[in-house]
Amino acid sequence: MMIKGLRLQNFRNYQDEFVQFLPGTNILIGDNGQGKTNILEGIYYLLTGKSYRVQREQELLRWEQNEFHLYGDFLMSHHKVSLESHYRDKKKIVKINQVPCRRLSDFVGTINVVFFSPDDLIMIKGGPSERRRFLDLHIAQMRPGHVSLLNAYNKVIQQKSALLKTYVEKNLKYSQLQLWNAQILELGEKIIRNRSDLTKRLQNVSGHIYADLTSQKEKIQISYFALGKKTIDEALFEFPKLLNEKLEQEVERQMVLIGPHRDDVHILLNGKPARLYASQGQQRSLVLSLKLAELDLISQEKGEYPILLLDDVLSELDRFRRDYLINSIELSRIQTLITMTSGENILESGTFLRVEQGHIRRDP
């Protein structure tokens, strides 16, 4: 998979800019604050329907504008694909080859992408929501139906939460809560199975990569921790019972206490929680292992590698990890877009694109 061209209109600091990319490594070079990261964000948003930096589309608009437009031309399995994403009047429209998509799940996963930035360390040292988000974004690219599944589940959680906070006669409230619990059970089981399956595959691939990065001296273990239970089978078996047992407490606390929206991914380094015991260097190795595993898993699923976006990553890695990443990219012939500042001399080859004040030009 590769991107050939991108057009950004009123997106971040870009008024109307078009940029062409070549196979191999494309290096976006320029001082801080010129718009390098905004290009990667535009590509990521165009392919996934989400920004990895903000939650609201309003924050992606150019100053004093009320709409933005993204257009991209891609190659996938030797055929061309044109994608569009339009945001206007707080509504989003996405198109494949100029044909509007009814649902985002019809769009996501058409072209795959892996994004890697220093901020990804929060996957290791942050809260459970960061690790759930990592899993869900990856699953959505390989199984687009996961998007609809999550949206349906989140709506049910919102409805149940609203009911818990509403004054309703006790018997009626409990009867209605049981109806919402039935939907939480149905949707939640599917989400748990999807996340558990991906976690097992990540463990297998990233474990080998991490061992290589540490010369076989260290070992990682990644497992999905559902509903507070030790195994997935145990969690799914006890899910209905847990929903009933927590009902009284949920009414008292006015919040939904059981479901995959509270699950976590446990990452152990040499048998200890990485979040608490991993050094900064070990955390970088863990994230690098997970990102490279992501690339491999998508390649296994789709038969070709996704586009790789690296936002200011190389300067954050030591020489050994940086060389490992670059060698992996070159051996796999992955199209890669990298941002770096003008003063860095980490890469000597590739296509250089100069970014200055929202304008892009090819460096000779």
From CA 353, how far away is CA 363, in angstroms rounded?
Answer: 5
Is 350 one of the annotated binding-site residues? Answer: no
Q: Across-strand partners of 362?
A: 353
Let me know: does 359 contact 17? Beta carbons within 8 Å.
Answer: yes
DSSP 305: P
Is 66 one of the annotated binding-site residues? Answer: no
The label of the residue with tokens 């996957």 reads 123
Q: Could you tell me which of 127, 104, 151 has the C-alpha nearest to residue 275?
A: 127
Q: Classify 343 as helix, strand or coil.
A: coil
From CA 220, how far away is CA 214, in angstroms rounded?
Answer: 11
Q: Could you tell me which of 259, 363, 271 has the C-alpha nearest to residue 26?
A: 363
Let me know: does 221 contact 268? Beta carbons within 8 Å.
Answer: yes
Is 32 one of the annotated binding-site residues? Answer: yes
From CA 329, how far away is CA 308, in angstroms rounded?
Answer: 9
Is 228 one of the annotated binding-site residues? Answer: no
Is 214 one of the annotated binding-site residues? Answer: no
Is 188 one of the annotated binding-site residues? Answer: no
Backbone φ/ψ region at 17: left (φ over 0), alpha (ψ -120 to 50), beta: beta
Is 159 one of the annotated binding-site residues? Answer: no
Spatial neighbors of 102 by CB under 8 A, at least 6 apart, are none
Is 95 one of the annotated binding-site residues? Answer: no
Q: Could you tell me which of 232, 76, 48 has the C-alpha nearest to residue 150?
A: 48
Which residues does the annotation place in the binding site for ATP?
A: 30-37
Q: Which residues are annotated as a binding site?
A: 30-37
